[in-house]
Chains A and B, each alone.
Chain A
Amino acid sequence: MTLIEIDHIERARVCYIGWIRSTAPSAPLCSVYFNVFLEPCAHVHDVDALAQDMALQRLSGSFSGLIVQNSSKILQRAFSVSVVAAAIQKMTRVRVVDNSSLGNTPYHRPPRVIHVYTKNGVGKVGDKVLLAIKGQKKKALIVGHKMPGDRMTPRFDSNNVVLIEDNGNPTGTRIKVPIPTHLRQMEGDFSKVLAIASSFV
């Protein structure tokens, strides 16, 4: 794992909300997308262990706490991949995005949806679901899914979910992942989740 030090940020604009992605580490120019798309590109140096802390500081300063990591085992595919992009239903594996201990401690099975609280069994953004996490049942709220929704609503690369108690209070205290703002117009109790979110899309 090498950290990327970014010297000049020439232009930044919000692209789509994707994840950390980088090209091969040996390339002199690297395109990095996380929440901000850097364009054209920055100069990339390999940072050694001594300078890693400094790089971290500078990066966290410019990008508010996000750390960019470049994996050396990046998969280079020669074919295009089209993925299943369905909404959330029973037995889908989901990603818990808040900072609760239940959502973040590793377990040998990923959290799965066992029931969706809607009339049809399909869960979209803003629906409550029942998850099986670490051998226990927990309610959760869907905050993003892979399926394209309405025009002008964000689509995420992972099915994101926020854990919720039975009385509606969120289990975690912060959410780092961007949360869609159209939750506000929906029927339901979303103000609590919006209050602990740190970024909106």
Chain B
Amino acid sequence: QLDTHLFSFYLGYSETFNLDVLVSLLRQENAVDLCVIKVPEHIKYAEYFIVVSGISPRHLRAMALYAIKVYKFLRKDGDPNVKIEGKDAEDWMCIDFGKIVVHFMLPETREVYELEKLWILRAYDEQLMRIPPEVLPEDFMYDMEITK
């Protein structure tokens, strides 16, 4: 254990699965349009939000599985296990690594959802502004008393 620790330290191999490792492995897999967004602190969701495109559904699946494989290799005791969400949807898969969230989409799906725009522009996003303002019914119960 100590030997491999020193080995990876001296050779410059990363020991933890951090953002650099993920980005370099995505680049190595020929990911199309890699986009890394730093999520601001007040949104308590994740620290980094990554959107990647692929050439075909098979490419996306291969990238996702490779990312999981590398994560499992670099995982220490105490880090939770990570699963691929959206395995049966062939055009959009996600992996949530705690601090980083990665979305693998096909270019067409990416055009439809425009996740990067939402996460960069947050409240000023175009699609959000296009949603017509909601009118609630006249007798909507606000602030109701829950008898419990």
Q: Mask for B90-101, Cβ within 8 A of A = 1, else 0?
A: 111011100001
Say yes or no: B118 contacts A196, CB within 8 Å: yes
Instruction: Decide: A191 near B135, CB < 8 A? Known: A167-B86, A168-B89, A174-B118.
Output: no
**What is the CA–CA distance of A18 and B123 in the complex, to the nearest angstrom?**
19
- Once A99-B127, A196-B118 are accepted as A-B contacts, the answer to whether A82 and B147 lie under 8 Å apart by CB is yes
B136 within 8 A of A: yes
Across the interface, which residues of B come within 8 angstroms of A196, CB to CB?
A: 113, 115, 118
**Chain B residues near A173 (CB, 8 Å)?**
112-114, 127
B143 in the interface (beta carbon within 8 A): yes
**Closest beta carbon of chain A to B130's beta carbon, Å:** 8
Q: Which segment of A44-52, A64-72, A115-123 sits at the interface? A: A64-72
Most buried by B among A99, A167, A189, A194: A189
Q: Is A200 in the interface zone, CB < 8 Å from B?
A: yes
Inter-chain contact A71/B89, CB cutoff 8 Å: no
Whether A11 sits at the interface, judged by CB under 8 Å, is: no
Is B138 part of the binding interface, using a Cβ–Cβ cutoff of 8 Å? yes
User: In the bound complex, do residue B131 and residue A69 qualify as a contact, i.e. CB atoms below 8 Å apart?
Assistant: no
Question: Cα distance A192–B113 when bound, in Å?
Answer: 10
Of A66, A85, A157, A189, the residue contacting B86 (CB under 8 A) is A189
Q: Are B145 and A80 in contact (CB under 8 A)?
A: yes
A150-199 residues with Cβ-Cβ distance < 8 A to B are 155, 157-158, 165, 167-169, 173-174, 176, 181, 184, 189-192, 194-196, 198-199
Closest Cβ neighbor of A177 among chain B residues: B134
A20 to chain B, nearest CB (A): 7
Instruction: Check A82 against B146 for contact (C-beta < 8 Å).
Output: yes
Residue ID in chain A nearest B130 by CB atoms? A99
CA distance A198 to B125 in the complex (A): 9
A78 neighbours in B (Cβ, 8 Å)? none
Asked if B142 CB lies within 8 Å of chain A CBs, one says: yes
- Shortest A78–chain B CB gap in Å is 15
By a CB distance below 8 angstroms, the chain B residues around A168 are 85-86, 88-89
**A43: interface (CB < 8 Å):** no
Report A-chain residues with C-beta under 8 Å of the C-beta of B138: 71, 73-75
Q: Which residues of A contact B147 (CB under 8 A)?
A: 82
9 cross-chain pairs, A with B, having the tightest CB-CB distances, nearest first: A64-B123, A167-B89, A189-B85, A191-B94, A83-B144, A67-B133, A99-B131, A21-B142, A174-B127
Residues of A that sit less than 8 Å from B by CB: 18-21, 33, 64-67, 69, 71, 73-75, 80-83, 85, 99, 148, 155, 157-158, 165, 167-169, 173-174, 176, 181, 184, 189-192, 194-196, 198-200
- Interface CB pairs A-B, < 8 A, 21: A19-B140, A20-B136, A81-B144, A82-B144, A83-B146, A157-B142, A157-B143, A167-B90, A168-B89, A169-B89, A181-B45, A189-B86, A191-B85, A192-B94, A194-B45, A195-B94, A195-B113, A196-B115, A196-B118, A200-B43, A200-B44
